[in-house]
Amino acid sequence: MSRHQNIGTGRAAANMALIKYWGKRDTQLYLPTTGSLSLPLTQFVSTTTCEASDDGDVLYLNGVKATTGQHQKAWRVIQQFRALTGQQNSICVRSHNNFPTAQGLASSASGLAALTKAANQYYGTKLAPHLLSMIARQGSGSAARSIERGIMLWHKGRHRDGIDSYAEPIQNSHAILQKLQLAFVTILTPATEKDVSSTVGMRLENYPRSIYNKWVRQNTKDLKEILEAFHQLDLPRIGDITERNFMRLHLLIESAHKPIRYWKEDAPHILGRIRAMRQSGLPAWATMDAGHIVTILTTRTASITVASMCEDFGTTIIHDLTQK
């Protein structure tokens, strides 16, 4: 029987999907309709603590008491530890992000992954990373890919109970990242919080079935191809698949019965600039999650030039993906 610690702490980096997750085949267990693949946003980190509370369950996000929606995600994670350990005492969760939240920056991914790690320490459960990934998945799908750093593959899985749907680094992940010397550049531009959350935006009933099924087939194909490209260290191919994958996601989202748009007006200009950089020989490919922030996949060597060429759009942040 595990015993809880006085305080549990967890840290996790956000992640950016190169092959996107968009839709659940099981909305209770958070089982995806396709596999997905991401790289860590190493500069965007959440730190979370869990400790006993005399005041009922409570959650603070960046020092502010959280709303019910944010509560639900966190409590789906805590609930699993309570079920595992039988410990029902009230707890206080404090989570800090060192980056802006709810702008398509997967703050829930790093936050819930950090919470899962903190709870693993607090409850003394000592679960292996793939089990933590399964727990984090049920807080927020993309959190499954933030338990570990690396080229993270979230398996779609086949089982109904979700036992085979977790994320893990691909084989030789660290060596591949070292060889490719990859980096991300994120361009932070001001915006209000997005109006349609990913959870709502990805509901299958939002989309004409044939269009959604076509996206599933294409996403599955993109995943297979990008895995090959990583193992062959073929950066231009990785970049091309990344860019087309995000564009197809946004086309799908715009083809919803009630179209949703996460892009902001400056996005086409940023994408045009990235294309021009590529034409001039720089390795640079764009991707966007369900938000307006553009992230550029590039190399460490090119990242400084790429960042400086985008400074007129917003604050640029370089993420070195060779860091462990």
Nearer to ligand DP6, 132 or 290 (CB): 290
Nearer to ligand DP6, 202 or 309 (CB): 202
From residue 314, alpha-carbon distances to 72, 283, 318 in Å are: 33, 20, 13
Among 13, 30, 167, 216, interactor with ligand DP6 by CB under 6 A:
30
Among 70, 140, 146, 245, interactor with ligand DP6 by CB under 6 A:
140
Alpha carbons 273 and 296: distance in angstroms, whole number? 11
Question: At its nearest, how many Å lie between ligand DP6 and the CB of residue 126?
Answer: 26
Q: If you count DSSP H runs as helices and E runs as strands, how many of each does the chain have, helices first?
A: 9, 13
Residue among 105, 122, 114, 97 at smallest CA distance from 3: 122
Question: At its nearest, how many Å lie between ligand DP6 and the CB of residue 86?
Answer: 27
What DSSP letter does each residue of 226-246 carry, written as one string?
Answer: HHHHHHTT-HHHHHHHHHHHH
Q: Which 8-state DSSP code applies to residue 37? A: E
Question: At its nearest, how many Å lie between ligand DP6 and the CB of residue 117?
Answer: 17
Nearer to ligand DP6, 47 or 140 (CB): 140
Nearer to ligand DP6, 117 or 250 (CB): 250
Residues 287-306: x where in contact with ligand DP6 by CB under 6 A, - otherwise, as a string: --xx----------------
Nearer to ligand DP6, 6 or 68 (CB): 68
From residue 223, alpha-carbon distances to 1, 106, 185, 241 in Å are: 40, 20, 22, 9
Half-sphere exposure of 252 (CA within 13 A, CB side): 30
Cα-Cα end-to-end distance for the chain = 33
Q: Where are any strands of DSSP class E within 20-163?
A: 24-26, 31-32, 36-52, 58-61, 64-65, 91-97, 152-154
Hey, which residues does 14 pair with through a beta bridge?
41
Minimal CB distance residue for ligand DP6: 141
Nearer to ligand DP6, 143 or 309 (CB): 143
Contact 221, 215 (CB under 8 A): no
- Contacting ligand DP6 within 144-203 (CB under 6 A): 198-199
Contact 31, 95 (CB under 8 A): no
From residue 113, alpha-carbon distances to 140, 146, 222 in Å are: 9, 6, 26
Residues 73-112: x where in contact with ligand DP6 by CB under 6 A, - otherwise, as a string: ---------------------------------x-x----
Q: Which segment (15-23, 128-136, 217-225, 228-236) binds ligand DP6 by CB under 6 A?
A: 15-23
Using CB under 6 A as the binding rule, whether residue 21 contacts ligand DP6 is answered as yes
Q: Which amino acid is at 134?
A: M
Coil, helix or strand at residue 195: coil
Residues 33-52: x where in contact with ligand DP6 by CB under 6 A, - otherwise, as a string: ---x----------------
User: Count of CB atoms within 10 A of residue 236's CB?
Assistant: 11
Nearer to ligand DP6, 17 or 267 (CB): 17
Q: Which segment (49-57, 139-147, 174-182, 270-278) binds ligand DP6 by CB under 6 A?
A: 139-147
Binding site for ligand DP6 (CB under 6 A): 17, 20-22, 30, 36, 106, 108, 140-142, 198-199, 289-290
